Amino acid sequence: MILAVVAIAAACIAVWLSHGFLYTVAASILFAALYAAVFHTRWCYVAVKTTPRDLRALISYIQILWTARKFAKRNWTLPDIFHDVVQRHPDKPCFMFQDEVWTFKEVEDFSLRMTAVMRAQGIKKGNVVGLLVNNCPQLPALWLGNARLGAVTPLINTNQRGNALLHSINVAACDVLIFSEEYNSAIQDISKELSPSLKLFKFTHRPLQTSSPKQALGSGDTIPDLTCLLEATPPAPWTLADADGFHGKLLYIYTSGTTGLPKAAVISNTRYVFMATGIHFLRLKKSDRIYCPLPLYHTAGGVISVGQALILGCTVVLKAKFSASQYFPDCAKYKATAAHYIGEMCRYILATPPSPTDTQHNVRIIFGNGLRPQIWTEFLKRFNVKHVIEFYGATEGNANIANTDGTPGAIGFLSRIIPAVYPIAIIKVDQETGEPIRNSQGLCQLAEPDEPGVFIGKITPNNPSREYLGYVDKAASQKKVVKDVFAHGDQAFISGDILVADELGYLYFRDRTGDTFRWRGENVSTTEVEAAISRVADHRDAVVYGVLVPNIEGRAGMCGIVDTDGSLDLDQLARALARDLPAYARPVFLRVMGSVDLTGTFKMKKTDLQKEGFDPAQVNNDKLYYLDGKLGRYLPLGTDEYEKIVKGEIRI
């Protein structure tokens, strides 16, 4: 190497002496390039392959920061940002829903009525007004109305009942709760345990009849009807919000998690803007019409899609409930040009029978997170969609990434050439506990390409992309923070998701920590096994988990699989899995379920299934099977077989 440098220096001097200064510059560049090509071939290869991707993303990143800076300077909150958009095109459709079209002006007017009603109720800066409201165009308008008064709005998951619902209302310390009238009985069920100071209102989805407002208050102690109050109250005159400015709190959004009660994550105006513009500047346009069949109480629907309308002026099509068979027909009906997906939706859509409507739409781009690598190409081809933006980011976290160039299966990338621009990283962890593995100085270590590790985002307060606001519950927030990462005293948000980067820096999802179990000395990834099963079983819902078997080390794989019509062929499944999975990863037990309990994000409830295990006494309506290793078939598992397995008389 020293020889090479000396040789290059000598050559440069020779050129200078014979040809003058300009030639020398040209020659040095040439020599430097030659040097790099010869001694760092691999680096050059990576640089050539990834520079266009990195530059494109850098431009988007600058646009995002630029937009955020503009709002920060004006110290605007969402209602102020929205007002600016309304001024530009008051009559453009903002939301479409069933047969309703709401213009930007109409959405703002509705929000101004809400401001007036809540002000009359004494709501002011710092109060909390919870919404347990179904998807409809009024929902964002309701929270915009609150935000204008500086009130924070928790968006409560409408699937919740009983204790979880009570917890969501209490953990946010709601002063007011507004609920869609169909949740009346859910509220009645917990009414005794609600704080007596909590003011309740019910909300009815119907057009406002402002000319002949009905009486809002029923007789006696019935709950007042917000819709009637909105009809009876003229919109507040428009003013800038009286809130805590751009960095102030806007919403609480609950993360479901597979264990424990929901946690309320804090969404500031800053973070709202960052998440929505983050997706927008990658490939969407202001003229796009976006189809969003997702619940508006999650980040995906409520922030990323709705934000396209509120901040960027796109038209967003809302839907009461996701329907796989209606997805593309709806896109055609509403003339959508972009569509949003999450989690397993794509698999459900792909499982619908082929139809001419598959390609009779104008959707050029789909965006979301959870499009599985196994169905990526098939999905795009069948539905004739050009681009995908697959992104990844935890609601409560600060680590966001996106796959900007459509590389199949990747959920984002890390620049290999200039990693410092965007301080996220993958660090080595113990795959079972999820704890970082530290070096002799007590610091974390970066994972090598192709080595799985946990995804982290460095925390820098007051930078919208790097801030970590965590949950309302401070103790829960601290659990997601890791200290002394790359230097003593620094901090990072630890996502709990295991990712792996390839040589070019593309990131692939592996697992959530805790989603691996050990069996026969091997680590089994539940995500991988689930994907394999779903693929060979016609994209059915399958959930994989490890169960304890007495006197056997590790956990045996068990798979809950849905079979609503009795068409699941277990012999064929066993054969297909023997072909596709290593022996240790094949599920030892099967639980065939007639129906399935899904959480709001379409994830099956693993923890409950895991608790019930393979004991027939604990599993009520479902059929159990175990894998007979010799026969390579699944055999029915009743009380007898259960006893024998426990005693070790049947070897598994």
Ligand X SMILES: *[C@@H]1O[C@H](CO)[C@@H](O)[C@H](O)[C@H]1NC(C)=O
Is the Cβ of residue 431 or residue 601 nearer to ligand X in the bound state? 431
Of residues 245 and 408, the one with the C-beta less far from ligand X: 245
Q: Which two tokens stand for residue 311?
A: 């901040």
Least separation in angstroms between CB 513 and ligand X: 10
Give me the half-sphere count of Cα atoms (radius 13 Å) on the Cβ side of residue 386: 9
Distances (CA, A) of 252 to 78, 137, 152, 497: 14, 19, 7, 22
Smallest gap, in angstroms, from Cβ of residue 429 to ligand X?
Answer: 7
- What is d(CA 470, CA 451) in angstroms, rounded to the nearest whole number? 28
CA angle 271, 235, 152 (to 5 degrees): 30
| Torsion over CA: 107, 108, 111, 112 (sign) | negative
Closer by beta carbon to ligand X, 71 or else 201: 71
CB nearer to ligand X: pick between 125 and 611: 125
Which CB sits closer to ligand X, 378 or 430? 430
- DSSP, collapsed to helix, strand or coil, labels residue 224 as coil
List contacts with ligand X (CB under 6 A): 75, 244-245, 430-432, 522-523
CB 576 within 8 A of CB 586: no
Q: Which is nearer to ligand X, 430 or 448 (CB)?
A: 430
Element (H, E) at 5: helix 2-19
| Residue nearer to ligand X on the CB measure, 82 or 201 | 82
CB of 523 to ligand X, least distance (A): 4
- What does the angle CA 647 – CA 651 – CA 652 come to, to the nearest 5 degrees? 115
CA–CA gap between residue 602 and residue 349 (Å, rounded): 13
The alpha carbon of residue 147 and the mean position of all alpha carbons in its chain are separated, in whole angstroms, by: 24
Instruction: Taking each helix axis as running N to C, give the angle between helix 104-120 and helix 138-148, from 0 to 180 degrees, rounded to the nearest 10.
Output: 50
DSSP class of residue 301? I
C-beta of 437: minimal distance to ligand X in Å? 9
Smaller CB separation from ligand X, 245 or 406: 245
φ/ψ of residue 146, rounded to 5: -65, -45
Q: What is the DSSP string of 10-56?
A: HHHHHHHHHH-HHHHHHHHHHHHHHHHHHH-HHHHHHHHHHHHHHHH
Question: 550, 649 in Cβ contact below 8 A?
Answer: no
CB of 621 to ligand X, least distance (A): 35
Dig out the tokens for 354 from the structure: 């082929």
Of residues 160 and 525, the one with the C-beta less far from ligand X:
525
Helix 104-120 / helix 78-88 crossing angle, nearest 10 deg: 140
Q: Give the helix/strand (H/E) hosting 142.
A: helix 138-148
341 is written with which tokens? 């997906």
Query: Measured from the CB atom, is 154 or 452 closer to ligand X?
Result: 452
In the bound complex, what is the minimum distance in angstroms from residue 152's beta carbon to ligand X? 14
- Nearer CB in complex with ligand X: 193/432: 432
Q: Closer to ligand X at the Cβ: 34 or 437? A: 437
Residues forming beta bridges with residue 201, ordered by sequence position: 178
Rounded Cα gap, residues 342 and 340, in angstroms: 7
CB of 446 to ligand X, least distance (A): 17
For residue 652, what are the contacts with CB-CB under 8 A and spacing of at least 6? 549, 552, 556, 588, 626, 627, 629, 645
Distance CA 296, CA 300 (A): 8
CA distances from 372 to 131, 247, 276 (A): 32, 35, 23
Of 462 and 618, the one with the shorter C-beta distance to ligand X is 462
User: Minimum distance between the CB of residue 33 and ligand X, rounded to whole angstroms?
Assistant: 41
- Cα angle 484, 486, 488 (rounded to 5 degrees) comes to 40
